[in-house]
Amino acid sequence: MKGTYSEDGTVRLRTSVWIDLRALEENYRAIGRLLGPQVGMMCVIKADAYGHGAVEVGRRLESLGAAYFGVATIDEAKELREAGIRSPVLVLGGAMPWEGPELFIEYDLAVAVGNFELLDRIDGFRGGKPLKLHVKIDTGMGRLGFGTGEIPRLLSELTRLQGVEIEGIMSHFSRSERRDDYGLGQVALFAEAVGRFKEKGIEPRLIHMANSAGLCNYPEARFNMVRPGIMLYGSYPGKALCDAVELTPVLTWTASISFVRTFPAGTALSYGGTYVTERDTRVAYVPVGYSHGYPRALSNRGSVLIAGRRCGIVGAVCMDWSFVDVTGVPEAVPGQEVVLLGSAKGAKITADEIAGDVGTIPYEILCGVSKHIKRRHVH
């Protein structure tokens, strides 16, 4: 990494996000070894590849032979196509009422279909070539998809639908982070739905259900394609899965110390005076706060790395500043690199750790890093 310097190494930046595409490749290959050659991967790169930069991530994964990409919206898919990415792309969120089927044909996209309103809009559409559909079955998530009780009507409508290719059938786990009867019930319902499709002569080429946790906890749900997301970026969807596959965090977030002050015992720091010094305390000021996506919930509980040493956040995280106790860390001087997320000299702070500190999930931590911070991709 280049710390907080610009790409040419000449200009000091307030804060930088570095994306290690070599680590991304290692994670992709590690998941592939777990799956074996019979199961393809639909790499989920929605939400700007979970904050890692969808175009650069997509290009690297395409070069590795990724079978498919999954995104949330047609705008995300268009960005990939306009950047020259040609691999198959599925818009997992389907088509909004104001998005016509012709857009999916124009950009050569597949669309997830999970309601009859969308089927009605597709019915009779003639786009010059078949519109690719992935039919979503709701087996217990309660979000998108046809209910299992709607399958008879669904099959009737699909068999008469023209101008489409039913390329895939899919479902989604509700709580795949652990293996339990509920999850096994979802797998059984989905397998039954696949069987009912086949009975009607509808045999989609792609059958997929398992996300990152699901592909680990439910091998029977791998079918012929899985949809890894968070694992590609080096985080685990659950603590119990850390032994399933070895992953390397892809994102490193750095900043620089702006200035340092020393306060006597009894000094209240930051908004609300929630931290009061108990001794003479050196405080480093880091120009990163919640406007950059650094969680305010890390106030008085988070840590950063300075010269490979853990230093605690003191006081409330501000919109543009965080305060760090650097008493006894002589290397902590203006200009010194601060690692907010990543590793240094054998120490590390992961998205999983931060998520645990603030009571959320690593997905939110990674997606929350501000898009205003330029991603610098390391090849």
Catalytic machinery residues: 46, 271
- 54-63 and 74-82 helices, crossing angle to 10°: 60
Cβ neighbourhood burial of 307 (10 Å; 0-12, 13-18, 19+): middle
CA distance 220 to 215: 8
Residue type, 335: G
Half-sphere exposure of 291 (CA within 13 A, CB side): 9
The pair of three-digit structure tokens given for residue 98, joined into one six-digit string = 């104001």
The pair of three-digit structure tokens given for residue 90, joined into one six-digit string = 């599925």
Half-sphere exposure of 273 (CA within 13 A, CB side): 4
Residue type, 52: H
The pair of three-digit structure tokens given for residue 330, joined into one six-digit string = 């002589």
For 48, other C-beta atoms within 10 Å of its C-beta total 19
The pair of three-digit structure tokens given for residue 78, joined into one six-digit string = 């268009």
